[in-house]
Amino acid sequence: MTTSGPTFTIDTPSLEDVPALARIHVRGWEIAYAHLISGDEWFRQEAIDRRIEHWTHWLTPGTRAADEGVYRVGRDAEGVVIGLAASWPPRDAQPVRPRELSVLYLDENWLGTGVARALTEDILEGGPASVWVAEDNPRARRFYEKLGFTPDGATQVEEQLANIRDLRMVR
Amino acid sequence: MLRHDEPIDPMAAAEIRVLSDNDSGAVARASRSWANALPAWLDLAHEGSSVFLLAVVDGSPLGVAELRPGRIAEIRNVGVLPAARGRGIGTDLMHAAEKRCAPATAVRLRVGLDNPGARRLYERLGYAGTGELQTTTYEFRDADGHLRSATETDEWMEKRLAGLL
């Protein structure tokens, strides 16, 4: 028996998706971090412009980020972008897992619908990974715990982000 | 056309944008050393191995910076025309370059041991010396077009970037 939740699909994004990816990415930051950091550079048009550059770079074949990264997008029944994920080899100086879940953000209307779980398991192929999460991002921490991640004791302070403390979770 | 001895409106904010083929003429006119370097810059940009950022005021390029993406990104060739220095264009270029480094977790650059002014700028922006020195001998054409060589010793400086993406 299946639950009658809203229908979505997981797909590989293309350059045509970049404006939508940038918008969801910045909105995701606002949901996750607006209580920790402030400023137009993170949440306004300049943030969207910066994410457009990032996603264009990441999805352009031939760049190192494109070669090393894995990217997934969630779409609603009409194909509209509702979530995104990116995974690179761990960026830690001393990696503890073969992959990192590097980016995961969702359209707020699709929180709690299984899109984030589907994005995560698809991009990681159900396998082991590490993820850095803001210590004060309880929703994300609960989500990763449900997917089998636990904190491994590593922390870092985001000097460029109002000294937010992150912790690393692994599975 | 901009000449180095012409005053530049100190209040005008620079627009920072990615160098494109369309900028070639203006960049080459702005500085002879930029004109010499431009073909190599455009090759690197076309290959995708570097992004070149241009600071532009009223259509005139006043500064340039090169970003090489990677797990640790590198900023190179930061230059502001002499007449446009001291008004934050170097800082604007650095900030624009740093914002394009993701997913890098750190960015590095080299600063000449004989260039304390640049070093002060980088320290103000949060870069710290690593103690790692590198000596480079390079050839360049002087203002009279003569090929010359010079030896320079640099120190690598590094700045950590945001881990959250």
pLDDT digit string (tens) for A113-137? 999 999 999 999 999 999 999 999 9
Judge whether A34 and A116 are in contact, CB under 8 Å: no
User: Given this model, what pLDDT does residue B11 score?
Assistant: 60
| Domain positions in chain B | 15-160
For A144, other C-beta atoms within 10 Å of its C-beta total: 23
Helix, coil or strand: residue A155: strand
A132 at the B interface (CB within 8 A)? yes
Tell me: cis bond preceding B103? Omega within 30 of 0 counts: yes
pLDDT at position A167 over 80: yes
User: Given this model, what pLDDT does residue B153 score?
Assistant: 96
User: Given this model, what pLDDT does residue A4 score?
Assistant: 62
pLDDT digit string (tens) for B96-130? 999 888 899 899 999 999 999 999 999 999 999 99
> How many angstroms separate the CA atoms of A19 and A10, rounded?
18
Judge whether B153 and B113 are in contact, CB under 8 Å: yes
Nearest to A60 among B48, B71, B163 (CB): B48
- Binding-site residues on chain B for chain A (CB distance < 8 A): 48, 69-71, 99-100, 102-105, 126, 160-165
> How many angstroms separate the CA atoms of A100 and A107, rounded?
22
Instruction: Give start and end residues of each alpha helix (H) in chain B.
Output: 24-30, 32-47, 89-99, 116-124
Residue A168 lies in a domain: no
What tokens does A154 get?
């590593």
> How many angstroms separate the CA atoms of A83 and B54, rounded?
33
A57 at the B interface (CB within 8 A)? yes
Provide the greatest CA pair distance for chain A. Answer: 48
Structural domain that includes position A114: 8-127
Residue A46 lies in a domain: yes
pLDDT band at A108 (very low <50, low <70, confident <90, very high): very high
Find the CATH number of the domain harbouring A71: 3.40.630.30
pLDDT digit string (tens) for B22-50? 999 999 999 999 999 999 999 999 888 89
User: Given this model, what pLDDT does residue B6 score?
Assistant: 53
User: Given this model, what pLDDT does residue A93 score?
Assistant: 85
What tokens does A42 get?
């993170």
Q: What is the mean pLDDT of chain A?
A: 93
pLDDT band at A65 (very low <50, low <70, confident <90, very high): confident
Contact: A103, B163; criterion CB under 8 Å: no
Contact: B69, A64; criterion CB under 8 Å: yes
C-alpha distances out from residue B85 to A89, A111, B3, B102, B150, Å: 40, 49, 14, 28, 24
For residue B99, the chain A residue with the least C-alpha distance is: A50
Nearest to B69 among A57, A164, A166 (CB): A57
Q: What class, spelled out in words, does domain B15-160 have in CATH? A: alpha beta
Contact: B162, A158; criterion CB under 8 Å: yes
Sheet holding B60-68, edge to edge: B15-18, B51-57, B60-68, B72-80, B106-112, B147-160, B128-141
Q: What is the mean pLDDT of chain B?
A: 89
Which of left, alpha, beta for A129 (phi over 0: left; psi -120 to 50: alpha)? beta
The ipTM, to two decimals, is: 0.81
Number of domains in chain A: 1
Contact: B103, A57; criterion CB under 8 Å: no
User: Given this model, what pLDDT does residue B145 score?
Assistant: 79
List CB contacts (< 8 A) between B48 and chain A. 60, 62-63
Residue A29 lies in a domain: yes
Beta bridge partners of A82: none
Q: How many residues does chain B have?
A: 165
Residue A159 lies in a domain: no
Residue A138 lies in a domain: no
> How many angstroms separate the CA atoms of A14 and A11, rounded?
9
A43 class by beta-carbon count within 10 Å (0-12 exposed, 13-18 middle, 19+ buried):
middle
Mean of pLDDT values over B69-89: 92
